[in-house]
Amino acid sequence: MAIKSKSRQKKFDTRIDFTPMVDMNMLLITFFMLCTTMIKSQTLQIALPTNEKVEKEEQNKVKQSEAVTIIIDGKIVEKNGVQTSDPTEGMLYYYDGMPEIDNLAQGESNMKQIEFGAKTGGAYPAIREILQERNKEVVLKVADLKKQWKEQAFSKDEKKNDSIFQAKRKQAMNDSTLKRPVVIIKATPNASYANVVSVLDEMQINSINRYQIDRINDVDSAMMIMLQGKNLKK
Amino acid sequence: MGKVKIKKKETRIDMTAMSDVTVLLLTFFMLTSTFLQKEPVQVITPPSVSEEKVPVANLLSVLVSPEGKVYLEVLGSQDSTDNKKFGSENVRAHMLQNMAEQYNALHPGANISFTKEELAKFSKLNAFGVPITAMKQWLNMETEDRDKALQQKDAGIPINMNEDPNKPNEFQMWVRAAYNSIDPELQEAILKGTGIAIKADQTTPYSVVNVVMDNLQTIKFNKFTLMTALKSEEE
Protein backbone atom coordinates (compact mmCIF):
# COMPACT_ATOMS: atom_id res chain seq x y z
CA MET A 1 0.00 0.00 0.00
CA ALA A 2 2.72 2.33 0.96
CA ILE A 3 4.56 1.71 -2.27
CA LYS A 4 1.52 2.37 -4.33
CA SER A 5 0.90 5.74 -2.79
CA LYS A 6 4.47 6.70 -3.42
CA SER A 7 4.43 6.01 -7.11
CA ARG A 8 1.37 8.14 -7.70
CA GLN A 9 1.74 9.45 -11.20
CA LYS A 10 0.60 12.76 -12.35
CA LYS A 11 -2.56 12.32 -14.39
CA PHE A 12 -1.82 13.07 -18.00
CA ASP A 13 -4.19 15.44 -19.71
CA THR A 14 -5.55 13.65 -22.76
CA ARG A 15 -7.62 16.49 -24.04
CA ILE A 16 -6.42 18.04 -27.22
CA ASP A 17 -6.82 21.74 -27.75
CA PHE A 18 -9.26 22.16 -30.63
CA THR A 19 -8.93 25.91 -31.00
CA PRO A 20 -6.57 25.89 -34.01
CA MET A 21 -8.77 23.29 -35.67
CA VAL A 22 -11.81 25.50 -35.23
CA ASP A 23 -9.88 28.45 -36.60
CA MET A 24 -8.96 26.55 -39.70
CA ASN A 25 -12.49 25.27 -40.21
CA MET A 26 -13.92 28.72 -39.91
CA LEU A 27 -11.50 29.95 -42.52
CA LEU A 28 -12.51 27.18 -44.90
CA ILE A 29 -16.21 27.83 -44.33
CA THR A 30 -15.71 31.48 -45.11
CA PHE A 31 -13.92 30.53 -48.29
CA PHE A 32 -16.67 28.20 -49.43
CA MET A 33 -19.40 30.63 -48.51
CA LEU A 34 -17.84 33.38 -50.56
CA CYS A 35 -17.08 31.23 -53.57
CA THR A 36 -20.40 29.51 -54.04
CA THR A 37 -23.55 30.39 -55.84
CA MET A 38 -26.49 29.45 -53.75
CA ILE A 39 -29.05 31.23 -55.87
CA LYS A 40 -29.39 29.76 -59.28
CA SER A 41 -30.59 31.85 -62.18
CA GLN A 42 -33.98 31.25 -63.66
CA THR A 43 -34.82 30.97 -67.31
CA LEU A 44 -37.66 32.22 -69.40
CA GLN A 45 -38.43 30.18 -72.44
CA ILE A 46 -39.38 31.89 -75.65
CA ALA A 47 -39.94 30.73 -79.18
CA LEU A 48 -39.54 33.06 -82.10
CA PRO A 49 -41.26 32.48 -85.42
CA THR A 50 -38.98 31.36 -88.22
CA ASN A 51 -38.13 34.24 -90.47
CA GLU A 52 -39.13 32.49 -93.64
CA LYS A 53 -41.42 34.66 -95.69
CA VAL A 54 -44.13 32.09 -96.37
CA GLU A 55 -44.71 31.23 -92.77
CA LYS A 56 -44.68 34.82 -91.75
CA GLU A 57 -47.63 35.61 -93.95
CA GLU A 58 -49.57 32.77 -92.45
CA GLN A 59 -48.83 34.04 -89.00
CA ASN A 60 -50.05 37.47 -89.90
CA LYS A 61 -53.51 36.11 -90.49
CA VAL A 62 -54.30 36.79 -86.91
CA LYS A 63 -57.86 37.73 -86.24
CA GLN A 64 -57.82 41.49 -86.07
CA SER A 65 -60.23 41.67 -83.20
CA GLU A 66 -57.90 39.56 -81.10
CA ALA A 67 -54.61 41.24 -81.86
CA VAL A 68 -52.92 43.60 -79.46
CA THR A 69 -49.63 45.17 -80.42
CA ILE A 70 -47.36 46.37 -77.67
CA ILE A 71 -44.34 48.49 -78.51
CA ILE A 72 -41.65 48.98 -75.91
CA ASP A 73 -39.50 52.06 -76.07
CA GLY A 74 -36.71 53.23 -73.85
CA LYS A 75 -34.10 55.87 -73.36
CA ILE A 76 -30.42 55.44 -74.08
CA VAL A 77 -28.04 56.80 -71.49
CA GLU A 78 -24.30 56.71 -71.62
CA LYS A 79 -22.64 55.05 -68.66
CA ASN A 80 -18.85 54.73 -68.53
CA GLY A 81 -18.64 55.16 -72.27
CA VAL A 82 -21.11 52.35 -72.88
CA GLN A 83 -24.56 52.98 -74.21
CA THR A 84 -27.08 51.46 -71.88
CA SER A 85 -30.82 51.71 -71.68
CA ASP A 86 -32.40 52.85 -68.46
CA PRO A 87 -35.16 50.40 -67.50
CA THR A 88 -36.94 53.03 -65.42
CA GLU A 89 -37.41 55.38 -68.36
CA GLY A 90 -39.42 52.92 -70.43
CA MET A 91 -42.51 53.82 -72.41
CA LEU A 92 -45.18 51.51 -73.71
CA TYR A 93 -47.32 52.06 -76.78
CA TYR A 94 -50.15 49.77 -77.69
CA TYR A 95 -53.01 49.43 -80.13
CA ASP A 96 -55.73 46.90 -80.84
CA GLY A 97 -56.12 45.20 -84.17
CA MET A 98 -54.73 46.84 -87.27
CA PRO A 99 -53.17 50.28 -87.10
CA GLU A 100 -55.70 53.00 -88.02
CA ILE A 101 -53.72 55.60 -89.83
CA ASP A 102 -56.35 57.46 -91.90
CA ASN A 103 -55.85 60.64 -89.94
CA LEU A 104 -52.23 60.15 -89.07
CA ALA A 105 -51.27 63.58 -90.41
CA GLN A 106 -53.40 65.14 -87.68
CA GLY A 107 -51.73 62.94 -85.14
CA GLU A 108 -54.78 60.68 -84.89
CA SER A 109 -54.33 56.94 -84.64
CA ASN A 110 -55.55 54.18 -82.41
CA MET A 111 -52.23 54.02 -80.61
CA LYS A 112 -52.13 54.76 -76.91
CA GLN A 113 -49.21 55.47 -74.66
CA ILE A 114 -48.48 54.62 -71.05
CA GLU A 115 -45.40 55.00 -68.95
CA PHE A 116 -43.68 51.75 -68.19
CA GLY A 117 -43.66 52.10 -64.46
CA ALA A 118 -47.21 53.49 -64.34
CA LYS A 119 -49.28 51.71 -61.74
CA THR A 120 -53.00 51.44 -61.46
CA GLY A 121 -55.13 50.47 -58.52
CA GLY A 122 -52.88 48.47 -56.27
CA ALA A 123 -49.31 47.87 -57.18
CA TYR A 124 -49.99 46.47 -60.59
CA PRO A 125 -48.26 47.90 -63.60
CA ALA A 126 -50.75 49.57 -65.94
CA ILE A 127 -50.04 47.17 -68.76
CA ARG A 128 -51.35 44.30 -66.68
CA GLU A 129 -54.80 45.79 -66.46
CA ILE A 130 -54.87 46.31 -70.21
CA LEU A 131 -53.90 42.74 -70.90
CA GLN A 132 -56.17 41.34 -68.22
CA GLU A 133 -59.11 43.18 -69.70
CA ARG A 134 -58.45 41.57 -73.07
CA ASN A 135 -57.87 38.12 -71.64
CA LYS A 136 -60.69 38.36 -69.12
CA GLU A 137 -62.31 35.01 -69.83
CA VAL A 138 -59.13 33.03 -69.39
CA VAL A 139 -57.96 35.05 -66.38
CA LEU A 140 -61.27 34.45 -64.60
CA LYS A 141 -61.13 30.76 -65.33
CA VAL A 142 -57.55 30.49 -64.11
CA ALA A 143 -58.41 32.44 -60.98
CA ASP A 144 -61.24 30.01 -60.34
CA LEU A 145 -58.91 27.06 -60.84
CA LYS A 146 -56.44 28.66 -58.47
CA LYS A 147 -59.08 28.96 -55.81
CA GLN A 148 -59.86 25.28 -56.15
CA TRP A 149 -56.16 24.52 -56.03
CA LYS A 150 -55.76 26.42 -52.79
CA GLU A 151 -58.65 24.49 -51.28
CA GLN A 152 -57.07 21.30 -52.53
CA ALA A 153 -60.25 20.48 -54.40
CA PHE A 154 -58.49 18.47 -57.11
CA SER A 155 -56.78 16.07 -54.80
CA LYS A 156 -55.79 15.85 -51.18
CA ASP A 157 -52.30 14.84 -52.24
CA GLU A 158 -50.29 18.02 -52.67
CA LYS A 159 -48.30 16.85 -55.66
CA LYS A 160 -51.35 15.52 -57.45
CA ASN A 161 -53.18 18.72 -56.66
CA ASP A 162 -50.35 20.71 -58.24
CA SER A 163 -50.14 18.69 -61.40
CA ILE A 164 -53.89 18.66 -61.98
CA PHE A 165 -53.97 22.40 -61.48
CA GLN A 166 -51.15 22.95 -63.96
CA ALA A 167 -52.82 20.73 -66.54
CA LYS A 168 -56.17 22.48 -66.13
CA ARG A 169 -54.50 25.87 -66.32
CA LYS A 170 -52.82 24.93 -69.55
CA GLN A 171 -56.10 23.64 -70.90
CA ALA A 172 -57.83 26.92 -70.05
CA MET A 173 -55.06 28.91 -71.71
CA ASN A 174 -55.44 26.87 -74.89
CA ASP A 175 -59.25 26.81 -74.84
CA SER A 176 -60.30 28.14 -78.23
CA THR A 177 -63.91 28.65 -77.12
CA LEU A 178 -62.76 31.49 -74.91
CA LYS A 179 -61.85 34.90 -76.22
CA ARG A 180 -58.09 35.10 -76.10
CA PRO A 181 -55.88 37.86 -77.38
CA VAL A 182 -52.86 37.48 -79.60
CA VAL A 183 -50.16 39.78 -78.34
CA ILE A 184 -47.51 41.04 -80.68
CA ILE A 185 -44.54 42.41 -78.80
CA LYS A 186 -42.26 44.82 -80.54
CA ALA A 187 -39.34 46.72 -79.13
CA THR A 188 -37.49 49.70 -80.43
CA PRO A 189 -33.68 49.53 -80.43
CA ASN A 190 -33.66 51.87 -77.42
CA ALA A 191 -35.79 49.65 -75.23
CA SER A 192 -33.98 48.02 -72.35
CA TYR A 193 -33.69 44.28 -72.15
CA ALA A 194 -35.21 44.30 -68.65
CA ASN A 195 -38.38 45.92 -69.96
CA VAL A 196 -38.72 43.42 -72.78
CA VAL A 197 -38.39 40.60 -70.27
CA SER A 198 -40.93 42.16 -67.95
CA VAL A 199 -43.46 42.43 -70.78
CA LEU A 200 -42.82 38.77 -71.57
CA ASP A 201 -43.44 38.18 -67.88
CA GLU A 202 -46.82 39.83 -68.10
CA MET A 203 -47.81 37.19 -70.64
CA GLN A 204 -47.18 34.52 -68.06
CA ILE A 205 -48.86 36.43 -65.27
CA ASN A 206 -51.95 37.06 -67.37
CA SER A 207 -52.11 33.51 -68.72
CA ILE A 208 -51.65 34.56 -72.32
CA ASN A 209 -50.07 31.85 -74.36
CA ARG A 210 -50.44 33.37 -77.81
CA TYR A 211 -47.78 36.00 -78.18
CA GLN A 212 -44.88 36.64 -80.44
CA ILE A 213 -41.93 38.94 -80.71
CA ASP A 214 -41.81 40.83 -83.95
CA ARG A 215 -39.77 43.55 -85.50
CA ILE A 216 -40.98 47.11 -85.47
CA ASN A 217 -42.12 48.41 -88.86
CA ASP A 218 -42.43 51.83 -90.48
CA VAL A 219 -46.11 52.22 -89.70
CA ASP A 220 -45.47 51.61 -86.04
CA SER A 221 -42.65 54.09 -85.82
CA ALA A 222 -44.65 56.70 -87.75
CA MET A 223 -47.53 56.28 -85.34
CA MET A 224 -45.17 56.59 -82.39
CA ILE A 225 -43.61 59.77 -83.69
CA MET A 226 -47.00 61.36 -84.37
CA LEU A 227 -48.23 60.42 -80.91
CA GLN A 228 -45.13 61.80 -79.26
CA GLY A 229 -45.49 65.03 -81.26
CA LYS A 230 -49.11 65.34 -80.23
CA ASN A 231 -48.26 64.87 -76.59
CA LEU A 232 -45.56 67.51 -76.78
CA LYS A 233 -47.98 70.07 -78.21
CA LYS A 234 -50.38 69.60 -75.32
CA MET B 1 -0.48 26.80 8.31
CA GLY B 2 -3.73 25.50 7.08
CA LYS B 3 -3.76 23.04 4.24
CA VAL B 4 -6.48 24.85 2.39
CA LYS B 5 -5.95 24.24 -1.26
CA ILE B 6 -7.74 26.58 -3.59
CA LYS B 7 -8.89 24.68 -6.61
CA LYS B 8 -7.51 26.27 -9.70
CA LYS B 9 -10.33 27.00 -12.07
CA GLU B 10 -9.94 25.72 -15.57
CA THR B 11 -10.14 28.67 -17.96
CA ARG B 12 -9.95 26.71 -21.18
CA ILE B 13 -13.20 26.13 -22.96
CA ASP B 14 -13.79 22.82 -24.56
CA MET B 15 -13.63 23.42 -28.28
CA THR B 16 -14.67 19.93 -29.33
CA ALA B 17 -18.32 20.80 -29.76
CA MET B 18 -17.46 23.93 -31.71
CA SER B 19 -15.19 21.91 -33.91
CA ASP B 20 -17.98 19.44 -34.56
CA VAL B 21 -20.29 22.18 -35.69
CA THR B 22 -17.76 23.80 -38.00
CA VAL B 23 -16.86 20.51 -39.63
CA LEU B 24 -20.53 19.87 -40.23
CA LEU B 25 -21.01 23.25 -41.82
CA LEU B 26 -17.90 22.80 -43.89
CA THR B 27 -19.14 19.48 -45.20
CA PHE B 28 -22.45 21.07 -46.10
CA PHE B 29 -20.85 23.89 -48.03
CA MET B 30 -18.44 21.59 -49.78
CA LEU B 31 -21.17 19.28 -50.96
CA THR B 32 -23.70 21.86 -52.03
CA SER B 33 -21.35 24.31 -53.64
CA THR B 34 -20.92 24.89 -57.29
CA PHE B 35 -18.14 27.33 -57.84
CA LEU B 36 -18.77 30.69 -59.35
CA GLN B 37 -17.49 30.50 -62.87
CA LYS B 38 -15.25 33.28 -63.94
CA GLU B 39 -17.01 35.23 -66.60
CA PRO B 40 -15.51 37.79 -68.95
CA VAL B 41 -18.23 40.31 -68.15
CA GLN B 42 -20.37 40.66 -65.10
CA VAL B 43 -24.01 40.99 -65.94
CA ILE B 44 -27.09 41.51 -63.81
CA THR B 45 -29.89 39.55 -65.38
CA PRO B 46 -33.36 41.09 -65.46
CA PRO B 47 -35.96 39.97 -62.91
CA SER B 48 -38.74 37.67 -64.01
CA VAL B 49 -41.49 35.60 -62.40
CA SER B 50 -40.41 32.50 -64.27
CA GLU B 51 -39.47 29.73 -61.89
CA GLU B 52 -37.68 27.41 -64.25
CA LYS B 53 -34.14 26.76 -63.15
CA VAL B 54 -31.15 27.08 -65.42
CA PRO B 55 -30.05 23.61 -66.43
CA VAL B 56 -26.69 22.54 -65.02
CA ALA B 57 -25.85 20.39 -68.02
CA ASN B 58 -26.33 20.44 -71.78
CA LEU B 59 -26.37 24.16 -72.13
CA LEU B 60 -24.90 26.65 -74.55
CA SER B 61 -25.07 30.04 -72.92
CA VAL B 62 -24.58 33.20 -74.87
CA LEU B 63 -23.18 35.94 -72.71
CA VAL B 64 -23.90 39.37 -74.15
CA SER B 65 -22.09 42.40 -72.81
CA PRO B 66 -23.81 45.79 -72.93
CA GLU B 67 -21.50 46.88 -75.74
CA GLY B 68 -22.61 43.92 -77.83
CA LYS B 69 -19.63 41.64 -77.33
CA VAL B 70 -20.64 38.01 -77.39
CA TYR B 71 -19.06 35.19 -75.42
CA LEU B 72 -20.03 31.55 -75.33
CA GLU B 73 -20.04 28.96 -72.59
CA VAL B 74 -20.68 25.30 -73.22
CA LEU B 75 -21.72 22.62 -70.79
CA GLY B 76 -22.04 19.02 -71.87
CA SER B 77 -23.71 16.23 -69.98
CA GLN B 78 -22.93 16.43 -66.35
CA ASP B 79 -21.52 13.01 -65.71
CA SER B 80 -18.29 12.64 -67.63
CA THR B 81 -17.40 9.33 -66.00
CA ASP B 82 -20.23 7.56 -67.74
CA ASN B 83 -18.95 6.38 -71.08
CA LYS B 84 -22.27 6.80 -72.77
CA LYS B 85 -22.42 10.44 -71.80
CA PHE B 86 -20.19 13.21 -72.98
CA GLY B 87 -18.56 15.54 -70.55
CA SER B 88 -18.16 19.24 -71.18
CA GLU B 89 -14.52 18.81 -72.15
CA ASN B 90 -15.30 16.26 -74.79
CA VAL B 91 -18.02 18.42 -76.24
CA ARG B 92 -15.84 21.52 -76.31
CA ALA B 93 -13.01 19.80 -78.14
CA HIS B 94 -15.37 18.48 -80.79
CA MET B 95 -17.03 21.85 -81.05
CA LEU B 96 -13.76 23.61 -81.78
CA GLN B 97 -12.83 21.09 -84.43
CA ASN B 98 -16.22 21.36 -86.05
CA MET B 99 -15.96 25.14 -85.98
CA ALA B 100 -12.58 25.06 -87.74
CA GLU B 101 -13.97 22.74 -90.39
CA GLN B 102 -16.95 24.98 -91.01
CA TYR B 103 -14.78 28.06 -91.22
CA ASN B 104 -12.34 26.46 -93.64
CA ALA B 105 -15.16 25.25 -95.84
CA LEU B 106 -16.64 28.71 -96.07
CA HIS B 107 -13.41 30.61 -96.52
CA PRO B 108 -11.34 29.13 -99.31
CA GLY B 109 -7.68 29.54 -98.49
CA ALA B 110 -8.26 29.50 -94.76
CA ASN B 111 -6.53 26.64 -93.09
CA ILE B 112 -7.31 26.64 -89.42
CA SER B 113 -6.45 23.57 -87.44
CA PHE B 114 -5.63 22.88 -83.86
CA THR B 115 -3.14 20.58 -82.24
CA LYS B 116 -4.10 18.08 -79.58
CA GLU B 117 -2.64 20.31 -76.88
CA GLU B 118 -4.64 23.27 -78.08
CA LEU B 119 -7.83 21.23 -78.13
CA ALA B 120 -7.09 20.04 -74.62
CA LYS B 121 -6.51 23.60 -73.47
CA PHE B 122 -9.72 24.77 -75.08
CA SER B 123 -11.74 22.01 -73.48
CA LYS B 124 -10.72 23.21 -70.03
CA LEU B 125 -11.94 26.75 -70.59
CA ASN B 126 -15.29 27.90 -69.40
CA ALA B 127 -16.00 30.96 -71.50
CA PHE B 128 -14.47 32.02 -74.76
CA GLY B 129 -14.97 34.86 -77.16
CA VAL B 130 -12.32 35.61 -79.75
CA PRO B 131 -12.47 35.47 -83.53
CA ILE B 132 -11.57 32.02 -84.77
CA THR B 133 -8.57 33.40 -86.62
CA ALA B 134 -7.15 34.62 -83.32
CA MET B 135 -8.12 31.49 -81.40
CA LYS B 136 -4.79 29.70 -81.81
CA GLN B 137 -2.87 32.64 -80.47
CA TRP B 138 -5.34 33.09 -77.63
CA LEU B 139 -5.10 29.47 -76.57
CA ASN B 140 -1.33 29.66 -76.35
CA MET B 141 -1.41 32.61 -73.97
CA GLU B 142 -0.86 32.40 -70.25
CA THR B 143 -4.06 32.11 -68.22
CA GLU B 144 -3.89 35.68 -66.99
CA ASP B 145 -3.25 37.13 -70.42
CA ARG B 146 -6.11 35.06 -71.74
CA ASP B 147 -8.55 36.64 -69.32
CA LYS B 148 -7.21 40.06 -70.15
CA ALA B 149 -7.54 39.41 -73.87
CA LEU B 150 -11.26 38.79 -73.39
CA GLN B 151 -11.62 42.29 -71.96
CA GLN B 152 -10.00 43.94 -74.98
CA LYS B 153 -12.02 46.02 -77.35
CA ASP B 154 -11.71 43.61 -80.25
CA ALA B 155 -12.67 40.57 -78.17
CA GLY B 156 -15.98 38.78 -78.55
CA ILE B 157 -17.20 36.44 -81.22
CA PRO B 158 -17.74 38.31 -84.48
CA ILE B 159 -21.43 38.82 -85.03
CA ASN B 160 -23.49 40.94 -87.36
CA MET B 161 -27.00 41.12 -88.72
CA ASN B 162 -27.02 38.22 -91.11
CA GLU B 163 -30.07 36.70 -92.71
CA ASP B 164 -28.42 34.30 -95.07
CA PRO B 165 -28.18 30.87 -93.43
CA ASN B 166 -25.84 29.73 -96.19
CA LYS B 167 -23.27 32.35 -95.32
CA PRO B 168 -23.28 32.19 -91.55
CA ASN B 169 -21.21 34.53 -89.44
CA GLU B 170 -18.88 33.17 -86.80
CA PHE B 171 -21.46 33.24 -84.04
CA GLN B 172 -23.86 31.20 -86.12
CA MET B 173 -21.09 28.77 -86.97
CA TRP B 174 -20.33 28.30 -83.28
CA VAL B 175 -23.96 27.56 -82.48
CA ARG B 176 -24.08 25.04 -85.28
CA ALA B 177 -20.82 23.58 -84.05
CA ALA B 178 -22.35 23.13 -80.61
CA TYR B 179 -25.35 21.47 -82.18
CA ASN B 180 -23.14 19.19 -84.26
CA SER B 181 -20.91 18.25 -81.36
CA ILE B 182 -21.05 14.58 -80.54
CA ASP B 183 -23.32 14.94 -77.54
CA PRO B 184 -26.84 13.79 -78.43
CA GLU B 185 -28.22 15.17 -75.18
CA LEU B 186 -26.97 18.65 -75.97
CA GLN B 187 -28.44 18.33 -79.44
CA GLU B 188 -31.79 17.37 -78.02
CA ALA B 189 -31.71 20.20 -75.51
CA ILE B 190 -30.98 22.74 -78.24
CA LEU B 191 -33.86 21.46 -80.34
CA LYS B 192 -36.19 21.52 -77.36
CA GLY B 193 -35.24 25.09 -76.58
CA THR B 194 -33.65 24.55 -73.19
CA GLY B 195 -30.17 24.18 -74.64
CA ILE B 196 -29.54 27.78 -75.62
CA ALA B 197 -29.70 30.55 -73.05
CA ILE B 198 -29.08 34.22 -73.60
CA LYS B 199 -27.56 36.01 -70.65
CA ALA B 200 -27.58 39.76 -70.90
CA ASP B 201 -27.55 42.69 -68.53
CA GLN B 202 -30.87 44.31 -67.73
CA THR B 203 -29.73 47.71 -68.98
CA THR B 204 -28.60 46.37 -72.33
CA PRO B 205 -30.42 48.11 -75.16
CA TYR B 206 -32.76 45.77 -76.99
CA SER B 207 -30.96 46.38 -80.28
CA VAL B 208 -27.94 44.47 -78.93
CA VAL B 209 -29.94 41.47 -77.72
CA ASN B 210 -31.99 41.58 -80.89
CA VAL B 211 -28.89 40.93 -83.02
CA VAL B 212 -28.26 37.70 -81.14
CA MET B 213 -31.91 36.62 -81.31
CA ASP B 214 -32.02 37.42 -84.99
CA ASN B 215 -28.91 35.41 -85.67
CA LEU B 216 -30.39 32.39 -83.92
CA GLN B 217 -33.62 32.84 -85.82
CA THR B 218 -31.77 32.86 -89.12
CA ILE B 219 -30.17 29.50 -88.52
CA LYS B 220 -33.51 28.16 -87.32
CA PHE B 221 -32.71 27.74 -83.68
CA ASN B 222 -35.68 29.88 -82.85
CA LYS B 223 -36.45 28.30 -79.52
CA PHE B 224 -34.25 29.40 -76.69
CA THR B 225 -34.35 30.73 -73.15
CA LEU B 226 -33.45 33.99 -71.51
CA MET B 227 -31.62 33.93 -68.23
CA THR B 228 -33.37 35.86 -65.51
CA ALA B 229 -33.25 36.35 -61.79
CA LEU B 230 -36.20 35.38 -59.65
CA LYS B 231 -38.65 38.07 -58.72
CA SER B 232 -41.47 37.38 -56.36
CA GLU B 233 -44.78 38.65 -57.56
CA GLU B 234 -47.95 38.62 -55.58
CA GLU B 235 -50.89 37.81 -57.79
Model pLDDT, residue B81: 57
Q: Is residue A151 located within the same domain as residue A217?
A: no
Predicted structure pTM score: 0.78
Query: In chain A, pLDDT over 70 holds for what percent of residues?
Result: 82
CB contact under 8 A, A44 and B35: no
pLDDT in tens, B151-167: 888 888 888 888 888 88
Domain ranges of chain B: 47-230
Instruction: Look at A110-114, A192-196, B104-108 and tell me which has the smallest mean pLDDT.
Output: A110-114
The residue among B94, B49, B88, B41 whose CA lies nearest residue B66 is: B41
- What is d(CA A116, CA A132) in angstroms, rounded to the nearest whole number? 16
Residues of A in contact with B58 (CB under 8 A): none
**Alpha carbon of A12 to those of A9, A172, B45, B111, B131: distances in Å?**
8, 78, 61, 76, 70
The answer for B 150-169 residues in CB contact with A (under 8 A) is 163
CB contact under 8 A, A47 and B210: no
Select from B46, B229, B235 the Cβ nearest to the Cβ of A193. B46
Within A54-111, strands assigned E span 67-73, 76-79, 82-85, 91-96
CB contact under 8 A, B30 and A187: no
Residues of A in contact with B226 (CB under 8 A): 43-44, 46, 197, 200
Q: Is residue A111 located within the same domain as residue A96?
A: yes
B171 neighbors B218 (Cβ within 8 angstroms):
no
Q: Is residue A227 located within the same domain as residue A126?
A: yes
CB contact under 8 A, B22 and A25: yes
**A224 located within any domain:** yes
Q: Give me the amino acid identity at B119.
A: L
The answer for B 194-223 residues in CB contact with A (under 8 A) is 194, 197, 199-210, 213-214, 216-218, 220, 222-223
What are the two backbone dihedrals, phi and then psi, of residue A229, each rounded to the nearest 5 degrees? -60, -45
Nearby residues of B226 by Cβ (< 8 Å), 6 or more positions away: A43, A44, A46, A197, A200, B48, B197, B198, B200
pLDDT in tens, B77-111: 765 555 556 678 888 888 898 999 898 988 888 88
pLDDT in tens, A133-154: 888 888 888 888 888 888 877 7
- What is d(CA B233, CA B235) in angstroms, rounded to the nearest whole number? 6
Q: Is residue A61 located within the same domain as residue A127?
A: yes
Q: Is residue A119 located within the same domain as residue A81?
A: yes
Instruction: Report helix angle B16-32 to A19-35, nearest 10.
Output: 20
pLDDT in tens, A6-43: 566 777 777 778 888 899 999 999 988 887 766 667 88
Domain that holds residue A89: 54-133+181-233
Q: Is residue A189 located within the same domain as residue A125?
A: yes
B contact test, residue of A41, A89, A186, A190 with most B CBs within 10 A: A41
B226 neighbors B198 (Cβ within 8 angstroms):
yes
Q: Is residue A60 located within the same domain as residue A175?
A: no
Nearby residues of A59 by Cβ (< 8 Å), 6 or more positions away: A49, A212
**A43 located within any domain:** no
The residue among A64, A95, A25 whose CA lies nearest residue B26 is: A25
Q: Is residue A223 located within the same domain as residue A170?
A: no
- The total number of structural domains in chain A stands at 2
CB pairs under 8 A between A and B: 190
Select from A42, A82, A84 the Cβ nearest to the Cβ of B50. A42
pLDDT at A77 over 70: yes
From the CA of B165, how many Å to the nearest CA of chain A?
11
**A117 located within any domain:** yes
| Residue B89 near chain A (CB below 8 Å) | no
- What is d(CA A178, CA B139) in angstroms, rounded to the nearest whole number? 58
Find, in chain A, the residue whose alpha carbon is nearest to that of B16: A18
From the CA of B113, how many Å to the nearest CA of chain A?
33
Instruction: Look at A82-96, B87-101, B103-117, B199-213 and tell me which has the smallest mean pLDDT.
Output: A82-96
The residue among B7, B45, B29, B89 whose CA lies nearest residue B228 is: B45
Model pLDDT, residue A2: 47
Q: Which residue has the higher pLDDT, A125 or B62?
A: B62
Measure CA of the first residue to CA of the last residue in chain B; give whole Å: 84
Q: Is residue A105 located within the same domain as residue A195?
A: yes
| Residue B143 near chain A (CB below 8 Å) | no
Region A190-204: what's the mean pLDDT? 86
Residues of B in contact with A43 (CB under 8 A): 50, 52-55, 194, 197, 225-228
Residue A1's pLDDT band (boundaries 50, 70, 90)? Answer: very low
Region B14-36: what's the mean pLDDT? 85
Query: In chain B, pLDDT over 70 holds for what percent of residues?
Result: 92
- What is d(CA B141, CA B123) in angstroms, rounded to the nearest whole number? 15
Select from A29, A46, A87 the Cβ nearest to the Cβ of B26. A29
Select from A47, A200, A205 the Cβ nearest to the Cβ of B223. A47
Model pLDDT, residue A23: 92
**A159 located within any domain:** yes
Within chain B, strands assigned E span 47-48, 52-53, 59-64, 70-75, 127-128, 196-200, 223-230
**Alpha carbon of B36 to those of A75, A88, B18: distances in Å?**
33, 29, 28
Q: Is residue A86 located within the same domain as residue A187?
A: yes
As a whole number of Å, the CA-based R_g of chain A is 30
Q: Is residue A200 located within the same domain as residue A85?
A: yes
Region A222-227: what's the mean pLDDT? 82
Model pLDDT, residue A8: 66
From the CA of A106, how many Å to the nearest CA of chain B?
30
Residues of B in contact with A84 (CB under 8 A): 66, 201, 203-205
CB contact under 8 A, A21 and B225: no
Model pLDDT, residue B71: 92
